[in-house]
Amino acid sequence: MARADSFTDRMPICVSRSNAQGRAWAWEPVNQAQSAVLQGKDVMRIIVKVLAGLSALTLLHVGSANAEVILLDRDNGSPIFNDLKIQIGGSIRAGYRNVMGGSDDGSYRHRGFDDGTRFRFTAEYFLNDDLNLVAYYEPGVDIFRALDWDDHYDPDRNHTTKRQLYGGIVSQRYGTLTYGKQNSVFYSAVGEKTDLILNAMNGQGPGNGVDGNYDGSYRGRDLVKYVNEFGPVTLHLGWTLPTNDYYLGGSGDDLLRYTRKGGAAVGAEYQLNDDLVLSAAYSYTEARVRQGSQDSTEYDQQMLGGAVSWRPGNWTLAALVGQYKDFLPLERRTPVPSDYFEGDAYGWEYFLGYTFPLQAGILKSTQPYVAGNAMRWDEYQTNYHFVGLSTKLAYGFRVDLERTFANTSDDQPDENWVRLRYDF
């Protein structure tokens, strides 16, 4: 007989049912499968309500400021937690997308959806004035799905995702060493410079390979990273450890699997002055692709890129170029291990914006911008240009509007994108 692990496991679980006329209610027991679903949904609703409550508290706490909220500060007088600091933050985001031509009519994105809500939890334990331990957790939460708002989410996606989860040791003198799921060296040094718009990162390696979590290009799993500053230069070093197989599709003898065997990366940012930063990065990943029980094909995946970020006054200018070898999957329906990846691909991105301070009631500033990103490989190319407007409001709110002009080999349509976000 199965053992009940808790009091709730022994309780009969019931749901309310209305009669045909909808005027009377009766309690009916549910089976174990229904119970698990109900409990899972209830847990998610509770989590979302708690996070929403924390967000509301931060709204009252920060006023018009926009910063992490310190729940427990160092030197708090506690005999046990005196050297502990805990802070939270996050970004609640709702979006609306409209593809020209009506191809997305009726889709959840066309009805309004969660557009990347995430929360941040940071804990630091200070060993002394120079050395401290750090733990960081950043979950992504699909609030629309957690609250069961039908037709406003993708039913095949999870309620939550583990965006980042890592720990390590920080020294002002010797640098920061961390391990876990975290931003890659390439993205931290190069890709982040142009990740400033809604439809971003189409011209860079991170996120455009097999999967940014598994190939280590974006928020890499099992990633060891070291960061330190040497005068105007910030050095990034990374080592990606082997991971489990990532299934690319198929079944039986046609089951296609990707395996990251390991890799390393190096990146550097050079701060020429207060406004101008030049950066470059290179990453290498040893990987293999195998189909069924056949012999696997080995790949030496490489990314090489450079970026510039210039912020003089109210201007923001950024650009990126990159070359990606055996990194992007070929555009074909039935790829095989021997030629799953395209040999060489080239990408670029740019951003140009000017911020107008407003300070008029709830309006704080607005930034019109133009941007673009593109990728070319084999006989295929994507080419996007954007016109957008980002407006910051009081209390950490922000509204982003963006129009995409697409020119691609597969004739993708233009698109409008709107995002409302609250940052705390």
Tokens standing for 243? 């991971």
- Which pLDDT score is estimated for 1? 34
Partnered with residue 217 across adjacent β-strands are none
More confident residue, 245 or 29: 245
The H or E element containing residue 257 is strand 256-271
Query: Hunting for tokens 């005196």 — which residue is that?
Result: 82
What's the burial of 192, exposed, middle or buried (CB within 10 Å: 0-12/13-18/19+)?
buried
The candidate with the shortest Cα–Cα distance to 178, out of 225, 219, 218, 130, is: 225
Alpha-carbon distance of 386 to 369, in angstroms, equals 8
pLDDT digits (tens, 9 = 90+) for 171-214: 999 999 999 999 999 999 999 999 999 999 999 999 899 999 99
Alpha-carbon distance of 142 to 45, in angstroms, equals 11
The contacts of residue 340 (CB under 8 Å, 6+ apart) are 248, 256, 289, 297, 299, 329, 330
- Which pLDDT score is estimated for 52? 53
pLDDT digits (tens, 9 = 90+) for 145-158: 988 888 999 888 88
Per 3-state DSSP, the chain is made up of helix, strand and coil in percentages (nearest 5) of 15, 50, 35
Residue 49 has pLDDT above 90, yes or no: no
pLDDT digits (tens, 9 = 90+) for 365-413: 999 999 999 999 877 899 999 999 999 999 999 999 999 999 999 899 9
Query: If pLDDT is split at 50, 70 and 90, which confidence band does 13 have?
Result: very low
More confident residue, 329 or 60: 329
pLDDT digits (tens, 9 = 90+) for 61-110: 544 445 689 999 999 888 889 999 999 999 999 999 999 988 888 889 98
- Lowest-confidence range among 3-7, 99-103, 229-233, 302-306? 3-7
More confident residue, 167 or 337: 167
Tokens standing for 274? 């207060």
What is the maximum span of the chain, computed from C-alpha positions, in angstroms? 75
- Lowest-confidence range among 121-130, 236-245, 372-381? 372-381
- Which pLDDT score is estimated for 54? 53
Start-to-end C-alpha separation, the chain: 49
DSSP per position, 25-48: EEEEE--HHHHHHHHHHHHHHHHH
